[in-house]
Amino acid sequence: MLTKLLIEQHFHGCYGVDFNKATVNDVIDLAHNIKKEGIGGIFPTLVTDTVENTKKQIGVIKEAAKKQSSDSAKILGIHLEGIFINAEKKGIHNPAHFLEPTIENFKKIADDFIKIVTLAPELCRCYAKGENLISFLKSRGVKVQAGHCIGSDLSGCDGVTHMFNAMSGVNHRSKSTALSALVDDNLYTEVIGDGIHVNDDALKLLFKAKPEDKILLVSDSLPCTHSNISEFIFADEKIYFDGERATSAQKTLAGSTKLLPEIIKNLANKNLFNPKYIDNPYKYHNLDLKGHIEWDENWNIVKS
């Protein structure tokens, strides 16, 4: 079977590379190597960090995009996950670096290469003085995604970040982030289908509830993915990788340890994969990348 190349819009690194620490050459090499995995476009994702390091790494990734070769996965922009999120759903993020989600604070790190921002919508409205950060970002053409949040009002958002994870969950007596995302057919929903972050029944619920063209498969992969790293620092925390899960000392999941092709195979083995999901990031980001992937009947990549 032939499909388009995969688009990875939410991942923090792999092959030992952490986008929050990477050099220009690190990012270039990663983009080159990940193309061999069938991934044709990437949005390097920055976890919550200081303003100074966030600005520095935006510059690094932007420079890598200018210098990368044509035989690499195209660096399409930056996904900024964090800084403007809710401490109640912080996950692995370090709240010491959180900022109030205001336009003024965003301008401290603003760059035209930021294409996706994950934030807590309820805080944006709480701190707004006139125009809020959501509408400001939308006016700049940035995709706004609700994540690491508890609010149910997702108006103005384009999608949600890693559905079910780090958000208020489904409750039959009250509204929540997850419930609002499930019932709104216009919202795109990222989901980590690695078999660890979301159980199979929740995946089935998502795939039944949402239109098939609103599902965004992501890995949320960490630097230890496809590497021999077992311990590393991520988001200022010591992370331990046991070969399957990457967690903090408190057992908080830090992200996935699989890339998209492995996630697709995992979903396909459970009869939960729809090949149309591969096309969805192209529509979401209005992309037109050249190239394709050839898969065998078991969803192994034969050629990309």
pLDDT digits (tens, 9 = 90+) for 76-94: 999 999 899 999 999 999 9
Residue range 258-280: mean pLDDT, rounded: 97
From residue 285, give the alpha-carbon distance in Å to each of 63, 84, 112, 146.
Answer: 21, 22, 15, 17
pLDDT given for residue 221 in this prediction: 98
Specify which residues 81 forms β-bridges with. Answer: 118
Percent of the chain with pLDDT over 70: 100
Between helix 24-34 and helix 51-67 the angle, nearest 10°, is: 50
From residue 223, give the alpha-carbon distance in Å to each of 6, 65, 161, 162, 232.
Answer: 19, 19, 19, 18, 8
The torsion defined by the Cα of 111, 114, 120 and 124, in degrees rounded to 10, comes to 40
For 30, residues 6+ apart whose C-beta sits below 8 A from its C-beta are 13, 14, 15, 17, 22
pLDDT given for residue 96 in this prediction: 98
pLDDT given for residue 131 in this prediction: 82
From residue 36, give the alpha-carbon distance in Å to each of 15, 72, 209, 293.
Answer: 13, 8, 33, 10
Mean pLDDT of the chain: 96
pLDDT given for residue 245 in this prediction: 96
Percent of the chain with pLDDT over 90: 96
Q: Which residue, among 161, 7, 16, 155, has the nearest Cα to 82 in the 3D structure?
A: 161
CA–CA gap between residue 233 and residue 239 (Å, rounded)? 6
Q: Which residue, among 181, 191, 253, has the nearest Cα to 219 in the 3D structure?
A: 191
Question: How is residue 247 written in tokens?
Answer: 């967690």
For residue 130, count CB atoms less than 10 angstroms from its CB and return exposed for 0-12, middle for 13-18, buried for 19 or more: exposed
Domain ranges in the chain are 2-303
Residue range 102-112: mean pLDDT, rounded: 97
pLDDT given for residue 303 in this prediction: 84
Residue 206: which H helix or E strand, with range?
Answer: helix 200-209
Which DSSP string do the residues of 70-105 spell out, in sequence order?
TTS-EE--EEEESSSS-GGG-TTS-GGG-----HHH
Class of domain 2-303: alpha beta
Which DSSP string do the residues of 278-295 spell out, in sequence order?
GGHHHHHHT-----EEEE
Residue range 260-286: mean pLDDT, rounded: 98
Tell me the per-residue pLDDT of 167-210, one tens digit each, with 9 for 90 and over.
Answer: 999 989 999 999 999 999 999 999 999 999 999 999 999 999 99
pLDDT given for residue 61 in this prediction: 98
Residue range 118-132: mean pLDDT, rounded: 88
Q: How confident is the model at residue 304 (pLDDT cuts 50, 70, 90)?
A: confident
Q: Which residue, among 1, 185, 161, has the nearest Cα to 81 in the 3D structure?
A: 161
Among the ranges given (11-15, 124-128, 240-244), the one the predictor scored with the smallest mean pLDDT: 124-128
Q: Is the pLDDT of residue 298 over 80?
A: yes
Q: How confident is the model at residue 112 (pLDDT cuts 50, 70, 90)?
A: very high
Q: Where does residue 45 fall: left (phi above 0), alpha (psi -120 to 50 degrees), or beta otherwise?
A: beta
pLDDT given for residue 127 in this prediction: 81
CA–CA gap between residue 143 and residue 89 (Å, rounded)? 21
Q: Is the pLDDT of residue 35 over 80?
A: yes
Q: Do the beta carbons of residue 80 and residue 97 sit within 8 Å?
A: no
